[in-house]
């Protein structure tokens, strides 16, 4: 595949990443139902949704870890649907997986070295990651398994950054972390974007997603229930799309979101923005 | 003094057993493959060495330089084809496939080379030369050389795994295959490299045993594989230096058994093996998957 220069691509108006009619299953269970969207260069595209909405499956399918039933994933204008995950990673589609998934027996530095071993050249180096996360340099020889959850997340993010991705896929960065740590990690997003990355993130915490995203996309039980710019959607619309309440959001949808029944016993756990 | 002799001989034999075991341990530690054809492949390496020596008339020890890379290449190829396709189905299938491979190799060797035993370098002075420590301890140079080779191999493997780029990738893939893929690493290739390393040690094991004793088509399973298993389990699964410790414990147990009654030699080794399984199933070195 020819990979055009990023700057040419930025001017062309073509999406960097395009997902078209993506359908995916976990065994018999349908996890994604005809998901389509485009991510342009420099965007922060946020996929929101409750537990089990298919967010992680979507990212794993884009990264190549999960084989879709039908539909396509296009990256830089080339169809990468059947491409192995390691080849996608080398071309710049890099996922920070849910649960961090560090190499536990390797040191912090070795984790970063593995991340850089097949990466592209670019602004992010191991040195720069050390500068970004002040504590990391001193503890670079520590085993990753000995780090706290927040520290592990930082290393996982660093491991992805040193590959200098074109699209950085972030799966639930905030999961299981203290709010302070979450703020710290999300606080780095502007710095990451300044180095020319495009970010596609999955987040259960809607208010967090709304703060950082240039575009939000809500999933419910594997289907798209809402998409738009944060400024263009109301809290009510999001609430309806997130929980499947019969609301005004349904009118904007390709699918009949109104037919989705209310989840029994669910309570809104996010703050409206 | 007889007991001192038994212990010294046992420790030195442990080097040979560590050579048997380290490849088995490496393959289990990295790809969770228990290679039941491990011993047979060592015998194949010995026969390849004999063939090379017979055809080219090169000095016996020089043939190692050829056999090790040949077996390493075979290891890469087998891992990328047969073993990987078994792994893609399930880890259990790899047991069946390597067992099948073991049967095929054994019968193939019987078919083409008969059941006769063969030694490597039987005319070399190294095979018979020994030196005395005191009046009752006779130490064979060959065993000392084999022990030294085992230590060098373990040091080399440790250095490779801890300091080289591919060593790092091997450990990363052993930790989390998917995460390694996300970093752009083709785990199949990395597995192939780990298998190549393991098969390189297998070649040394077969060669060393061919010089120490005799090779026959059945030696692979009835001696090499079993002793390798025992050494790995005693030392601790997935631990590289554990294979040397396990080998030494096994060797010493055998020699002490033989000292009591010559027919107890093999039995004593397995009794220790069983005792470790019962009392300390994680092995003597308890750190998990240290490789």
Indicate if A175 and A252 belong to the same structural domain. yes
The pLDDT value given to residue A135 = 93
- Please report where in the chains the tokens 């602004």 appear, as a residue: A123
Query: Which residue does chain B place closest to A64, by CA atoms?
Result: B182
Q: Is B172 on the interface with A (CB under 8 A)?
A: yes
Indicate if A217 and A193 belong to the same structural domain. yes
Two structure tokens written together for A216: 């939000």
Among residues B279, B271, B227, which one has the least CA distance to residue B248?
Answer: B227
How near does any CA of chain B get to the CA of A247, in Å?
39
User: Inter-chain contact B182–A110, Cβ cutoff 8 Å?
Assistant: no
Indicate if A186 and A253 belong to the same structural domain. yes
All residues of chain A having their beta carbon less than 8 Å from the beta carbon of residue B290 are 105
pLDDT, greater one: B2 or A2: B2
At A153, is the secondary structure helix, strand, or coil? helix
All residues of chain A having their beta carbon less than 8 Å from the beta carbon of residue B172 are 103, 106, 110-111, 114
Asked if residue A269 is part of any domain, the answer here is: no
Nearest-CB residue to B184 (from A86, A103, A111): A86
Q: Point out the domain boundary residue: A129, A163, A197.
A: A163
Query: Which residue does chain B place closest to A89, by CA atoms?
Result: B184
Asked if residue A264 is part of any domain, the answer here is: no
How near does any CA of chain A get to the CA of B287, in Å?
11
CA dist., res. B16 & res. B150, Å (int): 7
Q: In this predicted model, what pLDDT tens digit does every residue of A122-167 receive, in sequence order? A: 999 999 999 999 999 999 999 999 999 999 999 999 999 999 999 9
Average pLDDT for A11-21: 84
Indicate if A177 and A46 belong to the same structural domain. yes
In the beta sheet, which residues pair with residue A219?
A: A49, A224
At A14, is the secondary structure helix, strand, or coil? coil
Q: Is residue A249 a contact partner of residue A228, using CB atoms and an 8 Å limit?
A: no
Which sign does the torsion angle of CA B43, B47, B52, B54 carry? positive
pLDDT at A256 over 60: no
A240-249, B22-31, B177-186, B246-255: segment of lowest average pLDDT: A240-249
Indicate if A79 and A10 belong to the same structural domain. yes
Asked if residue A64 is part of any domain, the answer here is: yes
Among residues A62, A101, A55, which one has the least CA distance to residue A204?
Answer: A55
Asked if residue A224 is part of any domain, the answer here is: yes
Using DSSP bridges, classify how beta strands A93-96 and A167-171 pair: parallel, antiparallel or unpaired.
parallel
Nearest-CB residue to A114 (from B172, B178, B290): B172
pLDDT at B234 over 60: yes
Indicate if A177 and A235 belong to the same structural domain. yes
How near does any CA of chain A get to the CA of B184, in Å?
4
Domains of chain B: 2-279 (1.10.3470)
A50-64, A175-189, A221-235: segment of lowest average pLDDT: A175-189
Helix B2-31 / helix B187-212 crossing angle, nearest 10 deg: 160
The pLDDT value given to residue A10 = 56
Average pLDDT for B7-19: 96
Q: What is the 3-state secondary structure (H, E, C) of chain B?
A: CHHHHHHHHHHHHHHHHHHHHHHHHHHHHHHCCCCCCHHHHHHHHHHHHHHHHHHHCCCHHHHHHHHHHHHHHHHHHHHHHHHHHHHHHCHHHHHHHHHHHHHHHHHHHHHHHCCCCECCCCCCHHHHCEEEECCCEEEEHHHHHHHHHHHHHHHHHHHHHHHCHHHHHHHHHHHCHHHHHHCCCCHHHHHHHHHHHHHHHHHHHHHHHHHHCCECCCHHHHHHHHHHHHHHHHHCCCCHHHHHHHHHHHHHHHHHHHHHCHHHHHHHHHHHHHHHHHHCCCCCCCCCCCC
Q: How confident is residue A266, by pLDDT bands cut at 50, 70 and 90? A: very low
Asked if residue A270 is part of any domain, the answer here is: no
Q: What is the CATH number of the domain that holds A214?
A: 3.40.50.300
Indicate if A239 and A183 belong to the same structural domain. yes
All residues of chain B having their beta carbon less than 8 Å from the beta carbon of residue A85 are 178, 181-182
CA dist., res. B97 & res. B40, Å (int): 14
Two structure tokens written together for A126: 């191991």
Q: Is B181 on the interface with A (CB under 8 A)?
A: yes
Q: Point out the domain boundary residue: A140, A163, A186.
A: A163
User: With a cut of 0.85, is the ipTM above it?
Assistant: yes
Indicate if A21 and A65 belong to the same structural domain. yes
Asked if residue A200 is part of any domain, the answer here is: yes
CA atoms within 13 A on the CB side of B166: 12
For testing contact with chain B, the best of A117, A129, A171 (most B CBs within 10 A): A117
Indicate if A179 and A254 belong to the same structural domain. yes
At A157, is the secondary structure helix, strand, or coil? helix
Average pLDDT for A80-96: 96
What total number of domains does chain A contain? 2
For testing contact with chain B, the best of A60, A85, A99 (most B CBs within 10 A): A85
pLDDT at A263 over 90: no
- Please report where in the chains the tokens 């997130």 appear, as a residue: A242
Question: The domain containing residue A222 runs over which residues?
Answer: 6-92+165-259
Indicate if A14 and A85 belong to the same structural domain. yes
Q: Point out the domain boundary residue: A163, A181, A216.
A: A163
CA dist., res. A126 & res. A104, Å (int): 18
Indicate if A218 and A244 belong to the same structural domain. yes
Asked if residue A159 is part of any domain, the answer here is: yes
Asked if residue A143 is part of any domain, the answer here is: yes
Indicate if A204 and A139 belong to the same structural domain. no
Q: At A16, phi and psi to the nearest 5?
A: -70, -45
Nearest-CB residue to B183 (from A84, A105, A159): A159
Q: In this predicted model, what pLDDT tens digit does every residue of B149-197 receive, in sequence order? A: 999 999 999 999 999 999 999 999 999 999 999 999 999 999 999 999 9
Q: Is residue A136 a contact partner of residue A147, using CB atoms and an 8 Å limit?
A: no
């Amino acid at each position: 595949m020819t990979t055009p220069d990023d700057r040419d691509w930025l001017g062309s108006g073509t999406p960097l990443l395009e997902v078209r009619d993506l359908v995916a299953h976990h065994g018999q269970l349908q996890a994604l139902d005809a998901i389509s969207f485009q991510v342009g260069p420099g965007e922060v595209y946020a996929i929101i949704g409750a537990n089990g909405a298919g967010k992680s499956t979507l990212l794993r399918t884009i990264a190549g870890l999960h084989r879709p039933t039908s539909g396509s994933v296009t990256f830089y204008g080339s169809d990468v649907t059947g491409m192995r995950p390691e080849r996608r990673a080398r071309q710049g589609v890099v996922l920070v997986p849910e649960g961090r998934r560090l190499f536990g027996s390797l040191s912090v530095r070795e984790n970063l070295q593995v991340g850089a071993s097949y990466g592209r050249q670019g602004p992010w180096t191991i040195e720069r990651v050390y500068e970004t996360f002040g504590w990391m340099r001193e503890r670079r020889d520590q085993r990753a398994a000995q780090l706290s959850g927040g520290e592990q997340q930082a290393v996982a993010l660093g491991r992805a950054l040193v590959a200098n991705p074109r699209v950085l896929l972030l799966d639930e960065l905030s999961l299981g972390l203290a709010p302070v740590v979450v703020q710290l990690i999300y606080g780095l997003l502007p710095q990451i974007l300044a180095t020319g990355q495009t970010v596609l993130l999955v987040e259960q915490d809607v208010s967090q997603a709304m703060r950082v995203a240039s575009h939000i996309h809500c999933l419910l039980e594997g289907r798209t229930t809402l998409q738009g710019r944060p400024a263009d959607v109301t809290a009510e619309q999001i609430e309806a799309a997130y929980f499947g309440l019969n609301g005004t959001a349904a009118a904007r949808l390709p699918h009949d979101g109104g037919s989705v029944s209310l989840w029994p016993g669910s309570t809104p756990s996010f703050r409206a923005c | 003094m007889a007991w001192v002799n038994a212990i010294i001989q046992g420790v030195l034999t442990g080097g040979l057993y560590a050579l048997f075991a380290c490849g088995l341990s490496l393959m289990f530690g990295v790809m969770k493959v228990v290679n039941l054809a491990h011993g047979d492949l060592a015998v194949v390496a010995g026969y390849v060495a004999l063939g090379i020596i017979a055809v080219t008339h090169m000095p016996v020890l020089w043939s190692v330089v050829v056999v090790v890379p040949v077996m390493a290449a075979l290891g890469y190829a087998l891992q990328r084809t047969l073993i990987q396709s078994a792994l893609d189905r399930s880890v259990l299938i790899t047991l069946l496939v390597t067992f099948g491979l073991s049967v095929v190799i054994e019968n193939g060797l019987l078919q083409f080379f008969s059941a006769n035993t063969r030694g490597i370098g039987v005319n070399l002075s190294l095979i018979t030369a020994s030196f005395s420590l005191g009046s009752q301890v006779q130490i064979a140079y060959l065993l000392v050389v084999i022990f030294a080779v085992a230590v060098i191999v373990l040091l080399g493997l440790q250095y490779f795994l801890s300091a080289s780029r591919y060593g790092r990738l091997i450990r990363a893939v052993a930790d989390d295959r998917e995460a390694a893929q996300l970093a752009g690493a083709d785990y199949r290739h990395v597995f192939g490299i780990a298998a190549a390393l393991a098969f390189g040690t297998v070649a040394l094991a077969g060669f060393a045993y061919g010089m120490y004793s005799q090779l026959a088509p059945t030696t692979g399973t009835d001696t090499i594989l079993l002793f390798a298993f025992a050494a790995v389990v005693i030392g601790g699964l997935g631990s590289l230096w554990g294979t040397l410790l396990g080998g030494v414990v096994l060797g010493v147990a055998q020699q002490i058994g033989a000292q009591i009654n010559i027919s107890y030699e093999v039995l004593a080794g397995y009794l220790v093996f069983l005792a470790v399984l019962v009392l300390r199933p994680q092995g003597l070195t308890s750190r998990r998957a240290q490789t």
